[in-house]
Each structure stands twice: as C-alpha cells, then as structure tokens.
Amino acid sequence: CTTAYHAFLELLGTIDLTHRQQRLSVPVFDGNGRRSDLWAANLPLGLHLAIGFLQYRHLSWRQKFQVVRALGSLRRLCEDGRSRLETITFSEWLQEQGQAPDTVRDFWDFLVIPTLNCRASQASAAQALFVLEEGFLRSSSSAALGVPAAGLSELHVDPAVRYIKVRGGKVSVRAGVELFEESSEGGITSLRLRNGERRVFDAY
C-alpha cells in the first residue's frame, strides 16, 4: 500500500535493492510460540484474503466475525462518516463497530502497530482506515511485504543526493535553519541559517 514510497525508490533507481513479495505471506507467532500464517490467495479482490483469514488460528470465530463486520462497515462508509474520522481515534471507531477489547488487542493492534507505530487507542481513525483500504481492500497484491536488501544510506541517501546534484542542485548538511523570513504579504522570501547566512530559493 506504500505506493508513494515505491515510486520514490523507482525514481532513485533503487527498487531492485529490495525483496518484495508478490502477495502477502507472513508467519505470526502468539505468546506461546504457536504459529499461524496470514496470506493472500491468487483470487479476485475481496476473496484474496478470505481463505487465509478463515484458517488463521490466533482468532476465535467470534473475533473473526467482528473483524468482518468492521470491514463491511468500512466499505459502506459515506462521505459524512469519513469527515469525522479525523476527530476520533481508531479504537473509538472500532468500539462503534462492536469490536471487543480482545479483538482490538489480537487483531487490530497487530495491524496498526507495525504500520502506524502506535496502538489503535493512539491512532487517528482516518489514518488507520486509510492503511486498511490501501493495504487490504485496494488490490490483491497491495498487502505484500517488502524488505530492504541494502542499508538505508545505499537505498535512500546516496542515490537521492546524486539525483539532486545531477540536476544542478546542491545538498547542504549541518546547515540548521534558524528562521524563515516573510514578506509583508506573508509569503516566505528567504531563510537564515544558524551561522547567520541568508539564502534565497525559488521555493521553500
């Protein structure tokens, strides 16, 4: 679902420095070390996750029913319902959909912690539902995982600096910005570095 990041790596020419799945396949271990896999099948959208989810052993049938009900509510969200998502947490939205605390802990937090780096109680409902829609409901391959096969400097930094320099740009490091200087109309006209140097650009 990280299409912008994928496009960034393609722009830098480093997409081949990653290992990418064709479809989601990930082993999940519970606290007792028992394994159950989550995986996507080569089936039409909507059915691609069904078999793997039904076979997933870390959730009870009650919990699975709650998850399916919440996903159904997400598919039916109207524009008015979406407008309030920015003002509530994901856990508040889940409670409205009848998700029990153990379902939030065992499934929704399991998805939200690695994608948004927080629990459902701390996540924006809008951001969490965006991840679900893009990652699980957009296409049969959008939940597939990718991992880097190189360090982040090789993957991001060095090629990004090269990309800028080849196009006549310059990258300044250890050039802390003290403030942005504004015109009387409110637009930014320049910036001042901590060493007192003033710099002017076309865009800020």
Q: What are the pLDDT digits (tens) for 132-149? A: 888 888 888 888 899 999
Structure tokens at 67: 């998850």
DSSP 15: G
pLDDT for position 1:
66
pTM tops 0.85: no
- What would the mean pLDDT of 20-31 be, rounded to a whole number? 93
Indicate whether 81 pLDDT > 80: no
% of the chain residues with pLDDT over 70: 99
User: What is the rounded CA–CA span in Å between residue 182 and residue 169?
Assistant: 24
Say how far apart CA 109 and CA 116 lie, in whole Å. 10
pLDDT for residue 34 is more than 90: yes
pLDDT digits (tens, 9 = 90+) for 162-203: 999 999 999 998 999 999 999 988 899 999 999 999 999 998
Measured CA distances, 74 to 77, 81, 82, 125, 165 (Å): 5, 10, 9, 11, 45
Average pLDDT over residues 32-55: 91
Residue 78 has pLDDT above 80, yes or no: no
